[in-house]
Amino acid sequence: GAGVSQSPSNKVTEKGKDVELRCDPISGHTALYWYRQSLGQGLEFLIYFQGNSAPDKSGLPSDRFSAERTGGSVSTLTIQRTQQEDSAVYLCASSISGTGVGYTFGSGTRLTVV
Amino acid sequence: DAKTTQPPSMDCAEGRAANLPCNHSTISGNEYVYWYRQIHSQGPQYIIHGLKNNETNEMASLIITEDRKSSTLILPHATLRDTAVYYCIVRVNTNAGKSTFGDGTTLTVKP
């Protein structure tokens, strides 16, 4: 597609439920990044994919968070047993390997845990 | 990645140039300076990047000091739509991992 697509755009879930957030990067972009942004805060790195591999998972806040990427394309971020502190905007970005043009971000998924 | 320091906020009059500074005194020789901005409720948008030469594109100009320890993003004729948080980051110019976004500068363009 023309840009990075994220779905859903908004998600309200009950505490304790599992959620899946989807990111569809720009076609041909080999690198994919997940960030989250709590209200009024900066961007917090979660995980980075190069192809289907995740060389850097250092930002995942707990073992309730996991992510996968298949076919070098779509990525899914899963949060198990959601907590209220998980409420944030989850942003996905992609970039072409080696060009240094910069990331293209999606519009994000706003997750609210009630 | 090297750490950056930016003022938390700045104001600019509409139509005037906005000059946003960034300090990156610990930058390494192979690290580039990148600028992004985030307009309220949207994902960040890439603006420009550079290594040591000044750069210009349709959005902005980037001036990097000769010692590379600081840079300035210039919006030549700021409009109300340029009101956003502007992030300066430094990183190696590959896909070798994450970019670290600091708190950025909130630029408010006023009529």
What is the torsion angle, in degrees rounded to the nearest 10, for the CA atoms of residue A38, residue A42, residue A47 and residue A48? 140
B48 — pLDDT class (breaks 50, 70, 90): very high
Structure tokens at B16: 């005037």
Which chain A residue is nearest to residue B105, measuring alpha carbons?
A42
Contact B16, B106 (CB under 8 A): no
pLDDT at B68: 95
For residue B1, what pLDDT is reported? 62
Residues 6+ positions from A45 with CB-CB distance below 8 Å: A33, A34, A35, A58, A59, B98, B99, B100, B101
pLDDT tens string, chain A, 114 residues long: the values are 579 999 999 999 999 999 999 999 999 898 999 999 998 888 999 999 989 999 889 999 999 999 999 998 999 999 999 999 999 999 999 988 655 568 899 999 999 999
Q: Which of A25, A44, A50, A29 lies closest to A89 in space, CA to CA?
A: A44
CB atoms within 10 A of CB A71: 7
From A48, A107, A108, residue closest to B98, measured CB to CB: A48
Residue A109 CA to residue B18 CA, distance in Å, equals: 31
